[in-house]
Amino acid sequence: MDNKMLSEALISMLGAGNVRTGELMKTHTTFRIGGAADYYVTPQAEKQIADVIAFLKKSDIKYIVIGNGSNILVSDEGFRGVVVELGDGFSDYEFLQDSQDNSDEVLVKASAGMKLTRLGNQLAANGIAGFEFATGIPGCIGGAVRMNAGAYGGEMKDVLKEVTVLTPEGGVLTLQADELHMGYRTSVIKEAGYIVLEAVISLEKGDQEEIRSRMQELAGMRTSKQPLSYPSAGSTFKRPEGYFAGKLIMDSGLRGYQVGGAQVSEKHCGFVINTGNATAKDVTTLMSDVQRIVLEKFGVKLEPEVKFLGEF
Q: What is the tens place of the pLDDT at every residue in 19-28?
A: 999 999 999 9
Alpha carbon distance 121, 145 (integer Å): 18
pLDDT exceeds cutoff 60 at 267: yes
pLDDT exceeds cutoff 70 at 98: no
pLDDT tens, 172-207? 999 999 999 999 888 999 999 999 999 999 999 999
Q: What residues are labeled active site?
A: 185, 235, 305
Q: What is the DSSP string of 153-202?
A: TEEGGGTEEEEEEE-TTS-EEEEEGGGS--BTTB-HHHHHT-EEEEEEEE
Work out whether strand 195-205 and strand 160-166 pair parallel, antiparallel, or are unpaired.
antiparallel
Alpha carbon distance 40, 79 (integer Å): 10
pLDDT tens, 39-90? 999 999 999 999 999 999 999 999 999 999 999 999 999 999 999 999 888 9
**What is the predicted pLDDT for the residue at 186?**
87
**What is the predicted pLDDT for the residue at 101?**
55
- Residue partners of 220: CB distance under 8 A and separation at least 6: none
**What is the predicted pLDDT for the residue at 239?**
93
Q: Which of 167, 149, 146, 166 is nearest to 158 (CA)?
A: 149
Least confident segment among 19-33, 93-107, 113-127: 93-107
pLDDT exceeds cutoff 60 at 99: no
Alpha carbon distance 228, 291 (integer Å): 23
- Per the CB < 8 A criterion, the answer to whether 206 and 126 are in contact is no
**What is the predicted pLDDT for the residue at 185?**
83
For the CA atoms of 210, 216, 217, 222, the dihedral, rounded to the nearest 10 degrees, stands at: 150
- Residue partners of 2: CB distance under 8 A and separation at least 6: none
Alpha carbon distance 309, 87 (integer Å): 18
Alpha carbon distance 25, 7 (integer Å): 19
**What is the predicted pLDDT for the residue at 32?**
98
Averaged over 306-311, what is the pLDDT? Answer: 95
**Percent of the chain with pLDDT strictly greater than 90:** 90
Least confident segment among 82-86, 100-104, 138-142, 267-271: 100-104
Distance spanning both ends of the chain, measured CA to CA = 25
